[in-house]
Structure 1
């Protein structure tokens, strides 16, 4: 559970997938193994948030990490740099091959896409022009929906958060800064959580990878491994969204190491696909969480009660995303 390597790569970029194929029947997913791991994940979440809130109340490592927090300008440059990297790579790929909208599997023959991506690279270099890049991302996202469907594009909610971040970047008040980062962090966490549910619904998409890279299984049976990987990934996403202590920053560094390992394993195409998520995790690690997540704190309650409250939110989020994954499929794809 400590090394969910499979969480580092999006399987759609490397192996065949078929969204016309319905997700696994809920009765197949909700088997005894799933139930056991569900209960285990709840216990782990409870223990984690007891420790998290204990660290927060005792200001564990706050003094040391306070000296390591980067400025707002530096954090924004990390996101802008990753955006420039992503779109310059997509531009050069489009010059040599079939162009891509936003990610490696979203191919297009539209000739203007790569030139729009080049314009977006230039736009992120000046704060006053970053909204051009933001609206460009929204346009590419909308066109991608036209060709690939909204259900496919839900996989990449973090692009919506990135677009909002870039559009609002010229606005410098504390309120707009908080909105930018809340949107960026939340959309990234939801993207990771949505990908976790995909492992429950479509584990067969990853079986060819596990066959080619059997060391990933660590001796486990593929079906069990995919269910375990889904729970681990979802737990990480929830913690990134709601941890109040230094734990969220430590976890962001750990999760980034997983993505870096995936780049080593799968090559530059994985770096292109995950560039923005990597940048967001770096910013979370070096900037820390926004003040918005402190609304989840219950300072007047005991640690036991606060951990119980967060565990309830975890169960709610997992159940809602699980039902949304299946509900949206049958609503949008029949």
Structure 2
């Protein structure tokens, strides 16, 4: 039995405030961390760069969106816009001779400034009205990117990313790019794990549940909404810059379109609002499953000798993938993170739950 614990019992506040209240959770996290460190020596280079590297970067970005949407309860449909600000700011900073370490911080701070503008909209409206407002800001950013040749090079142009260099060492190997993405994802994950047990995290949850009730309790919703948007945008900016520097190697306006904002929001919702491990699952489902399904259908059609034209073969995996998302949300509307939690809670009391009458 993996979860050797019948319930969770705490005798003091120290044990109750631990990051991992169950030893099995800590062991699982340590195993995943060690596997991540050893991945370049275990996983083939093709899968490392095509699957694991973008998965880590998009997971960090999804955790940032989960901060403002899952914890603070502010629906955000312009997340790709702040990612674009961070990416282009970092690239231009490096082109001016600033080291990549500071360029990433500049990209994050630039995104925080733009992201704070979204927060001012959140002070006036909420719910679907806030979603529509942030969507409008996304369209504004799309127009700016496509009509500002000095920033992006034009609507059909791309801006080449300078070679990534950290601590004076240029990074050009596949393993080097992977470890940069892995390190950033680990930092964001540690931040989010500790956020849950701090006063800031509890204040954000209070604002999410009812900002008027939170104000009565002394929680300044104005301050915490701006802080949530700014912090989330900083994570988005650095993630966007690393995505361009380690995966795309160039920045183009279509990489940060409104479709990307909807996609990241889908990652958070499918994974589970306010769930850290759910963000990992949600990104894997949205980002990786389509390619896996496509490969399975191609292999199955060849093995069975079925004559399926290219157009049909391209659309069937998308239909199966969409149906998979619907089934998951029907089984557990709170997302994959909650589904994992249900399985874990069951294993915590198994097999003693069979003794119930």
**TM-score under structure 2 length normalisation:** 0.25
Which protein has the larger Cα radius of gyration, Structure 1 or Structure 2? 2
